[in-house]
Amino acid sequence: MWRHSKAREEVIKRIHDGAIGDVNVLRIYRVHGPVRCPAVADKPTGPYVKCKDNPLIGGHTVCIWPHREGLAALIDAAGPERFTVQWSADGIHFKRAAKVPRVHTGCGPFDADAFTNARYGRGIAWGVAQNHEKGTLCIVRFDVDLRAPKKARP
């Protein structure tokens, strides 16, 4: 797992030592625990204003991706919003969009829009996740149709 990785520790060390430079944007797709938003700003240089709506989403493992003109989140079996898809136009105020029968723990969807600064997120159709079967932990593929409709061209 990335959070236990020696490579991750090295990246964090280099950031703290100034070897990588300033990190203004960090895109997170899988988050452990409630999704929190300590501060928001219109520009990476600030000024930052503390977000009053904490936590944004309750749950154990939440994966987030760009969806339409906002963000979507898939929440696993933990928390009050378990087994739901949430959507937010502003990335802060999430609302339940759908209830789903099952969400694998530690899901990591494939996001074709990752790191592209797309203004319209196309959604997800598949990914990988953890699966516990008979005391064995393995990585499995999951398929899901959470694709956004094609945006009409003006």
User: 31: closest CA among 105, 131, 113?
Assistant: 105
**Is it true that the peptide bond before 109 is cis, omega within 30 degrees of 0?**
no
Question: What secondary structure letter does DSSP report for 3?
Answer: G
* pLDDT the model gives residue 28: 44
Please give the backbone phi and psi of residue 20, each rounded to the nearest 5 degrees, phi first.
-100, -25
- Compute the distance between CA of residue 65 and CA of residue 97 in angstroms, rounded to an integer: 14
**In this predicted model, what pLDDT tens digit does every residue of 88-121 receive, in sequence order?**
888 778 899 999 888 887 788 888 887 787 888 8
With vertex at residue 107, the alpha carbon angle to CA 105 and CA 111, rounded to the nearest 5 degrees, is 170
Structure tokens at 128: 């990988």
Whether 130 contacts 137, CB under 8 Å: yes
pTM flag (> 0.75): no
Instruction: State residue 60's pLDDT score.
Output: 63
- For 67-91, what is each residue's pLDDT tens digit? 898 888 888 887 788 888 999 888 7
Give yes or no for a contact between 67 and 41, defined as CB atoms under 8 angstroms apart: no
